[in-house]
Structure 1
Amino acid sequence: MRALAGIRVLDLGGFITGPFAALLLGELGADVIKVEWPGKGDKFRYDERGLYSPQFQAHNRNKRSVTLDYARPEGLEILHELIATADVFVVNSRPGVMERLGLGYEVLRERHPRLIYCSITGFGADGPYADRPAFDNVGQALSGWMSRHRRGDDPRVVGPAIADPVTSYYAALGILAALYDRVHSNRGHLVEVNLLESMIGLAIEPITNYFATGQPIPVYQRAATSQAYNLTCKDGKRIGLHASMLDKFWQRLCRAVCREAWINVYPTRADRIEHYERLASELNAIFRTRNRDEW
């Protein structure tokens, strides 16, 4: 899709949130230029193999790039010349950093009134946590999201980053809305997105349930209500099943695993929700009897 063809984005971000937000706009056809410090670059560039790590590639594909020392007056003026050609300016840093460099929103608005300025922070522009650094795990933990995905006292964190890319999606959404408004208003906007509020937004279902019932949702409750299972087969490979709330899917699963008696033992969705733990254990034992390809 080339819906953003003709739109130029300057990406001054690092790590994930800013670069991935810019990447999403590039996927829609925008011309994205990544601006990096000479001799340093994005910290995600580096690994034991050099300056093009898989993490950097994942969040910076489909971009052009330039190195520029905009802490120096001559570099800053060159950056302003580049900004004059841009529609969107993306940064992810703590409040005050861009202002100290002469690149705060108010300064850029005066010189480039049609610019969409996207500022991504950990906790917003003000408040008691505003000046604190924030990374993915901080957003997952403080938002409560992590409590919905773990049980027990294992200190390890599973899976890839969640809070960072979620924040990027919200940032890209805000930028798109600002670009649409600019068509009618002919003026730029400040788009402010932060890691914590983005994760709270993602957790809207468990949070709403808590306010409605006064109780947190048990870790496996959503899986129980939707009859979802991650099952391990004999060869160690896994199958993900989602029987949903419809009886017909449950009945087909029972027949597929040669447990037709379950249709009468657990005839209603409420029965299956109540006995989810038992069903999960028994289904896992059944699926361990064959390799995944056989299933």
Structure 2
Amino acid sequence: MNLLADTLASFSKTLGPLKGVTILDLTRVVAGPYCAMLLADMGATVIKIENPNDPDLTREFPPMSQGGGEPRSGFFAQYNRNKMAVSLDLKQPEGKATFLEMVRKADIVIENFRPGVMDKLGLGYEVLKGVNPALVFTAISGFGQRGPNASRPAFDSSAQASGGLWSMNGTVEEPMRVGTVLGDLAAALYAAIGTLGALREAERTGQGQLVDVSQQDAIVSLTENALVTYTETGTVVKPEGNGHPFVKPYGRYACKDGFVFFGAYTDKFWREACITFGDLEMATDPEVDTMAKRFAPDTYLRKVKPTVERWCAAYTKAELEAMTGDRFPLSPIKTMDEVVADPHLRERDMVVSVDYQGTRFDVFGNPVKLSGGTLEQGASAPGVGQHNPQVYREWLGLEQAEYDELVRLGVI
């Protein structure tokens, strides 16, 4: 086991399936950091590299810790747990040279700069693969590494807008952005998948490759049947509000203390719903006794929708969840305080505690559940340059004089 893995091992009793894999994480904000964090949770040794004078700006993103002492960012802690951190100025010659030495010993580099930035630094994929032919180089960007829009700057909303999701989400009257950074998060997930696939190939053949993930591409892939509906029928999907374009009943319905999702649209589930709510006549009513009949817009609006609204309005969210159980799909539309308190999510370790330099934050866990375990329990997030001595002196093997010179020059 290498020295970095030894250091990381102190965070957990198990090292995970990616034990021995070393990742150089040049990323900032969400998409790149989340991708690297997912791999760190599975045991990879992730070294977060930040410019000493311009570290990841999410270190100042809210929510900030509310206790005493220096404020710490819960946002940063959530996306950078289980990582080591070093400072390194890649714009200085000594910084470039140090990074290239790190690349020789690494398995993966992840970056989410705008395309061309790494090339301008003299550290693009072609240069790095010359140093380490087995290197997997994962690049996450708004519009990808090639194409007429590749050089455009982008945020999550750029992807939601250009990928079509914004135009089909929201109310019938007004398209709306999805209320989370889905372009960032989806790109992170695809990047993690692509990185693991490329790593498997590199281990098999000794040849690495470039993994090119675009936020816009990621969003397009999440638009369900909208693309094929247009290419086949010419129909442009519009926002449906809280309903579904053809599946009914399937959407949001009001209850005594809020709203629930009701999805008993199949014949089996519809019968179960009728039995649950003591409305057996609706189970055999010839107007609504088949799924196809219930899908008909006029029948749905006239008979099905009022029935489901009447059913739900008589109960609270908790009562509806308890009475339906596993009989048919019905879920309370939970606020975040209810999500955090959800005993099912707690049982599945989806709320975990992360230490960030003495401050503890409760953040979301890893949705990938491995029988061998993942490392999010008891994890920590690093300070800027926190692991400079371990990485540069112990892992990279710099002499003390070389290390001191990098410090003197402001490279680290």
Q: Please provide the CA RMSD for this pair.
A: 2.3
Over 3 Å counting, the alpha-carbon distance change for 1:170 and 1:137 in structure 2 is same
The one of 184, 189, 194 equivalent to 1:174 is: 194
Which structure's relative contact order is higher, taking Cα pairs within 8 Å and 6+ residues apart?
A: 2
Corresponding residue for 1:250? 270
Q: Does 1:193 align with 2:216?
A: no
Q: 1:90 and 1:51 mapped to 2: Cα distance?
A: 28
Q: Secondary structure, in 3 states, of the residue corresponding to 2:166?
A: helix
Over 3 Å counting, the alpha-carbon distance change for 1:154 and 1:101 in structure 2 is same
The one of 256, 264, 267 equivalent to 1:234 is: 256
Q: 1:31 and 1:121 mapped to 2: Cα distance?
A: 23
Q: Could you tell me whether the CA contact under 8 Å between 1:116 and 1:175 is conserved in 2?
A: yes
Corresponding residue for 2:247? 225
Q: Does 1:10 align with 2:30?
A: no
Structure 1, gaps ≥5 residues long: none
Which residue type is aligned with residue 43 of structure 1? Answer: L
Structure 2, gaps ≥5 residues long: 1-14, 65-69, 321-412
Over 3 Å counting, the alpha-carbon distance change for 1:168 and 1:226 in structure 2 is farther
Q: What TM-score, normalized to structure 2?
A: 0.66
Q: What TM-score, normalized to structure 1?
A: 0.90
Deviation per CA, 1:24-50, whole angstroms, max 9, x where unpaired?
212222111111111431111213636
The one of 29, 40, 49 equivalent to 1:35 is: 49
Offset at 1:285? 4.7
Offset at 1:164? 1.0
Q: Could you tell me whether the CA contact under 8 Å between 1:121 and 1:194 is conserved in 2?
A: yes
Q: Does 1:267 align with 2:289?
A: yes
Which residue type is aligned with residue 62 of structure 1? Answer: N
Kindly tell me the number of residue pairs found equivalent between the two proteins: 293
Q: Secondary structure, in 3 states, of the residue corresponding to 2:279?
A: coil
Q: 2:55 and 2:17 mapped to 1: Cα distance?
A: 29
Q: Secondary structure, in 3 states, of the residue corresponding to 1:261?
A: helix
Over 3 Å counting, the alpha-carbon distance change for 1:158 and 1:182 in structure 2 is closer
Over 3 Å counting, the alpha-carbon distance change for 1:138 and 1:272 in structure 2 is same
Over 3 Å counting, the alpha-carbon distance change for 1:125 and 1:218 in structure 2 is closer
Offset at 1:127? 2.9
Over 3 Å counting, the alpha-carbon distance change for 1:21 and 1:255 in structure 2 is same
Q: Which one has the largest radius of gyration?
A: 2
Which residue type is aligned with residue 271 of structure 1? Answer: K
Q: Could you tell me whether the CA contact under 8 Å between 1:229 and 1:280 is conserved in 2?
A: no
Q: 1:196 and 1:235 mapped to 2: Cα distance?
A: 38
Corresponding residue for 1:292? 317
Offset at 1:147? 2.3
Q: 2:257 and 2:50 mapped to 1: Cα distance?
A: 46
Q: Could you tell me whether the CA contact under 8 Å between 1:224 and 1:272 is conserved in 2?
A: no
Q: 2:127 and 2:71 mapped to 1: Cα distance?
A: 33
Q: Could you tell me whether the CA contact under 8 Å between 1:117 and 1:191 is conserved in 2?
A: yes
Q: 1:6 and 1:92 mapped to 2: Cα distance?
A: 23
